[in-house]
Amino acid sequence: MNPPDPGSLAMNTATLWESCNLRRAVDVLRRHAVRGIAPWRDRVGEVGVKEAARIIRDSGLVVTGLCRGGFFPAPDSKRRRAAIDDNLRAIDEAATLEAKCLVIIGGGLPQESRDLRGAREMVRDGLGEILDHARSSGVSLAIEPMHPMYCADRGCVNTLAQANDLCDELVGKGGTGIGVAVDVYHTWWDPQLAREIERAGEKRLLAFHICDWLVPTTDLLFDRGMMGDGVIDIPLIRSWMEAAGYRGMHEVEIFSKNNWWKRDPDEVVATCRLRHETRC
Amino acid sequence: MNPPDPGSLAMNTATLWESCNLRRAVDVLRRHAVRGIAPWRDRVGEVGVKEAARIIRDSGLVVTGLCRGGFFPAPDSKRRRAAIDDNLRAIDEAATLEAKCLVIIGGGLPQESRDLRGAREMVRDGLGEILDHARSSGVSLAIEPMHPMYCADRGCVNTLAQANDLCDELVGKGGTGIGVAVDVYHTWWDPQLAREIERAGEKRLLAFHICDWLVPTTDLLFDRGMMGDGVIDIPLIRSWMEAAGYRGMHEVEIFSKNNWWKRDPDEVVATCRLRHETRC
């Protein structure tokens, strides 16, 4: 494997969750010659989307994705409608930010529900409701399969096969406006991953998120590792992405409450830079 | 859905981990008219396998499975050989106990390894090494797919499709001596679960383990829930098992360090009895 192009490094603002607002994150990334950013809507909302777009545009950063839309399943039609409306706003924000995609997390089971199939149908139907607005706004929807341990409460789309099936169902094989985000943390265990990356192909592969799976993992949510500190063969998965035609950036997304979130953001980004070159 | 046959309730000794040695567990189960037990090798080893077999035989309990064999991946041939030898001993123990199956957990990545495909090949090869001995001993090997969150350090067989593929590869479509154990905790999220239970069919479906997925789940290992306290649609999965021809017992396996393991075993088993009848 060749090392990755250093210019392909991007940073999800979740990696700097506790240390940086949007403006500070942008400053840190520029200091380390990082060329891409994926902001969370929380960080965007703090300054307002127009100002966020201006800050990012002035910095020359590419917006690899806006985090995040989705969360469609809800116990009643009123709340399902509210979720759709929120996604329509997220699409507008993604358009203003000129984001490469809006990352879509399916959402989990509605409260008190055990109807997993029904929840998955709500995800499909919700995507169907927002697809036209996404297309007319020039925003691509990137369905991000979530690790099965998040199935109940965050994301009931749990494999890339499922995400690809959703794309097929919504827009057909060659359809546009919707694709997938591949995060190594959520998908590395999947025996069908190589095949499904190939199936997704260049057009549907909208984002590539990197971090690592630690052994042991001590928290379901906030114990993701820095690339190289865990067991994921990131270069292998990157090779599958590239063989399928992916030429986008490599976005670091590390939720790490007790380690990386506690550190100085310059140290975090410098480490990401080094590990990207040597371990990805 | 009809409620399950109360006579189909069985208990994995892990559910009574901190309160009961084998003898005490057997006494508790008899008091609550539970007719099946799945002992762990630790509990069997404490009294010796012959005495364990005598205790269980005298109680009239069916041994739904022995937990557990597998853990084949290792960093060198010496340790891979040691794993195989340990599995051969586990098969002998399962034969002495007249267990319906020996539960097989693949094992995770060898230390310092990121070669997931290689680990999965070691699982296949290890099973191949012990299959003849299992068959000649009259012991069925039950591959238990483990939740993907255990992929790195416990079990790299993570879907029922993978377990079925392993069976196909090792013994062909109609082959015997090897099958699968379906645990709702490990598999409930899997979009292909219904299809793969059907594919496994009566001959391969060797065990059915029940508990529940709690929301939130606060620990990756030790926070399983009592049936009915979580989000798994157990009656639905049972209906798939029964439609595929499964007529075996329903084995409760709850790892719950801060809740059920702390309780009086009579309360635990009485609750399992009630929840089995009303929530499974």
Per DSSP, the residues of B188-257 read TT-TTHHHHHHHHHHHHEEEEEE-B--SS---TTTB-B-TTSSS--HHHHHHHHHHTT--S-EEE---BT
The full DSSP string for chain B is: -PPPPGGGEEEEGGGGTTT--HHHHHHHHHHTT--EEE-BHHHHHHH-HHHHHHHHHHHT-EE--EEEEE----SSHHHHHHHHHHHHHHHHHHHHTT-S-EEEE-B-PPTT---HHHHHHHHHHHHHHHHHHHHHHT--EEE-PPPGGGTTTTBS--SHHHHHHHHHHHH-TT--SEEEEEEHHHHTT-TTHHHHHHHHHHHHEEEEEE-B--SS---TTTB-B-TTSSS--HHHHHHHHHHTT--S-EEE---BTTTGGGS-HHHHHHHHHHHHHHH-
Q: Which residues contact A256 (CB under 8 A, 6 or more apart)?
A: A222, A223, A224, A225, A226
Whole-number pLDDT of residue A173: 85
Tokens describing residue A14 = 């979740």
Whole-number pLDDT of residue A56: 98
Answer for the pair B170, B196: CB distance below 8 angstroms, yes or no: no
The answer, yes or no, to whether residue B173 has pLDDT greater than 90, is no
Contacts of B151 in chain A (CB under 8 A): 188-189
Question: pLDDT tens for residues A146-195?
Answer: 999 999 999 999 999 999 999 999 999 888 899 999 999 999 999 999 99
Which residues face B105 on adjacent strands? B70
Of B108, B189, B233, the CB nearest to A148: B189
Question: pLDDT tens for residues A67-126?
Answer: 999 999 999 999 999 999 999 999 999 999 999 999 999 999 999 999 999 999 999 999
Whole-number pLDDT of residue B80: 97
Query: Does B191 sit within 8 Å of A162, measured CB to CB?
Result: yes
Question: pLDDT tens for residues B241-275?
Answer: 999 999 999 999 999 999 999 999 999 999 999 99
Of B104, B116, B12, B103, nearest to B62 (Cα)? B12
Query: Does A113 sit within 8 Å of B231, measured CB to CB?
Result: yes
Residues in chain B whose Cβ is within 8 Å of chain A:
108-109, 113-116, 120, 147-149, 151-153, 156, 158-159, 161-162, 188-191, 213, 215-218, 220, 230-233
Contacts of A230 in chain B (CB under 8 A): 152
Answer for the pair B80, B126: CB distance below 8 angstroms, yes or no: yes
Question: pLDDT tens for residues B113-168?
Answer: 999 999 999 999 999 999 999 999 999 999 999 999 999 999 999 999 999 999 99
- Does the predicted model carry a pTM greater than 0.95? yes
- Element containing residue A45 per DSSP (H, E): helix A41-47
Of B229, B201, B181, nearest to B10 (Cα)? B181
Q: Which residues contact B60 (CB under 8 A, 6 or more apart)?
A: B30, B35
The answer, yes or no, to whether residue A22 has pLDDT greater than 90, is yes
Of B115, B161, B232, the CB nearest to A114: B232
Mutation to test the B interface, candidates A1, A165, A189, A232, most B Cβ within 10 Å: A189
Contacts of B190 in chain A (CB under 8 A): 148, 158
Percentage of residues in chain B having pLDDT higher than 70? 100
Q: Report the distance separating Cα A124 and Cα B174, nearest Å.
A: 38
Q: Calculate how close chain B gets to A179, using CA atoms only, in Å.
A: 19
CA angle A197, A198, A200 (to 5 degrees): 65
Q: Average pLDDT, whole number, for chain B?
A: 97
Cβ-based neighbour number of residue B274 at 10 Å: 13
The SS3 of residue A155 is strand
β-strands A36-38, A62-63 pairing: parallel
Q: Residue A229 class from Cβ within 10 Å (0-12 exposed, 13-18 middle, 19+ buried)?
A: buried
Q: Report the distance separating Cα B150 and Cα A119, nearest Å.
A: 25
The answer, yes or no, to whether residue B174 has pLDDT greater than 90, is no
Q: Average pLDDT, whole number, for chain A?
A: 97
Answer for the pair B178, A216: CB distance below 8 angstroms, yes or no: no
Whole-number pLDDT of residue B175: 86
Q: Looking at residues B179-195, what average pLDDT do you find? A: 98
Q: Looking at residues A6-19, what average pLDDT do you find? A: 97
DSSP code for A109: P
Q: Calculate how close chain A gets to B60, using CA atoms only, in Å.
A: 36
Q: Report the distance separating Cα B49 and Cα B46, nearest Å.
A: 8
Query: Does A161 sit within 8 Å of B189, measured CB to CB?
Result: no
